[in-house]
Amino acid sequence: MTKKNSRRSFIKRATLTSAVLGTSPYILTASNNEIIALKRSYGNTVYSANDHINIALIGSGIQGIYDTQSALKVDGVKLVAVCDLYTGRLERAKELWGDHLFVTRDYRELLELKDIDAVLIATPDHWHQTIAVAALKAGKHVYCEKPMVQNFNEGQEIIKAQKLSGKICQIGSQGMSSLGNEKAKELYEDGAIGDIVMLDMYNDRYSAEGAWQYPIPTDADPKTIDFDTFLGKAPKVPFEPTRFFRWRNYKEYGTGVAGDLFVHAFSTLNYVISSNGPSRALATGGLRYWKDGRNVPDVSITLYDYPKTNTHSPFNAAFRINFIAGSGGGGGFKLIGTEGEMEIGQNSVTVNRSKLNLVPSGYSMISFTEEMQKNIQKEYAAQENDRKSQLTTGKTTWQAPNDYKGAHYDHFNNFFTSIRTGGKTIQDPKFGLRAAGAALLANESYYKRQPVNWDPENMKLI
């Protein structure tokens, strides 16, 4: 960490009075379970019909609908068109948003519409790069769901297309813009946990839906689904609705648990500690329970090495996914440092600091004489009294208010604000590729059955 971010500045703040604490969200007290409110203020601009940002949705599945619902909560945004390869989803789009919508099964028709300012891409992963590049070349702003790419070599094309177009491109890892992430970044940079030594991330699930066994509509057939277009660049196979509606279960169309879940964690981690990503990965796992035709694991464990940079010490990261967690499910994302730990969620951040015990106990001194034990205790007591790092300890939680609009809203608000102002998005294509690339290392290592090395600066395999 830099001198600016040293724990000395944090300790200084942490020893301020409780009266000051009420007005400063940066500091910790020695009391346990203190809760400090986070705040978010939004503008109250009213836009005329002529000043709306017209959007189109490409891929009106589960995530596409949730994306659109969040996008439409932002002032001055209007949905005008929807594209999907299943006619039932086009009918559902009109149920949700009105018969006025232009609907099509060909995204190219949608990109030709002059009144569309931005597109939301929520297709299967293997279509992300093709459609994102085409949309940018068509002069549309792009919100592309994570992971930005299915393969490492696809990212540079999106970066290049975005730069040439001059349009805004936001990658859709929705937790990125959350109050929790923002506060975690401030706390980390202020030295709240000292030097990071480990990241612990896990996501346990215990349901068929959580394991991507999504329902298949009764009218699914070659007439209602454009299956050949869905396959795209993937190997040609006969019509199979399971592949269409449960595409996450197949490496030909998705990116497994790494691209679906690891990438969220990498987005948050790289943002909070200002990192470009890991340099090495080692993955293991397997298909333990959901043997329903899928060819991706339902249990995955990956270990990552992060190199030393000017924003963080070298550390290790452990990512674990279990789709058959008999415990019932749950998840966590925890940064562990030399002087504390920080658990990060979209709506809250909890920092827990404990005092490092440097004084030997009776266990390690049992072989010494009584006199020697007393001498050793005196030495350690003197060192402890002279130690300048007398840290405040305890647990403090920063919590979003009940009326917080949420991380998904904030991510779209950032996207649309960037379009209106020409500002910078929080997750541009370079950031998106670094997050996706780190996640995809897990797949690379798993299928090769060996460690893999990654250049986080140049975003390529070594």
- pLDDT surpassing 60 at residue 2: no
- pLDDT surpassing 60 at residue 388: no
Where does 338-459 show beta strands of DSSP type E? 341-344, 348-353, 394-399, 452-455
- pLDDT surpassing 90 at residue 357: no
Q: Tokens for 180, please give them.
A: 């929790």
Residue identified by tokens 């709240």 is 192
- pLDDT surpassing 70 at residue 381: yes
Question: What does the alpha-carbon distance between residue 86 and residue 223 come to, in Å, rounded to a whole number?
Answer: 9
**pLDDT class of 19 with cuts at 50, 70, 90:** very low
Closest of 211, 227, 218 to residue 324, by C-alpha: 211
Tens of pLDDT, residue by residue over 390-417, are 557 889 999 999 999 999 999 999 999 9
Q: What phi, psi does 219 have (nearest 5°)? A: -100, 15
Sheet holding 141-145, edge to edge: 102-104, 77-83, 53-58, 118-121, 141-145, 169-172
- Quote the pLDDT of residue 26: 41
Amino acid in the structure at residue 416: F
Buried/exposed 124-134: b ≥16 CB within 10 Å, e otherwise:
bbbbbbbbbbb
**pLDDT class of 362 with cuts at 50, 70, 90:** confident
Residue 331's alpha-carbon distances to 118, 202, 206, 286, in angstroms, are 33, 5, 12, 20
Determine contact, residues 350/396, Cβ cutoff 8 Å.
yes
**pLDDT class of 352 with cuts at 50, 70, 90:** very high
Listed in sequence order, the residues at least 6 apart from 378 whose beta carbon sits closer than 8 Å to its beta carbon are none
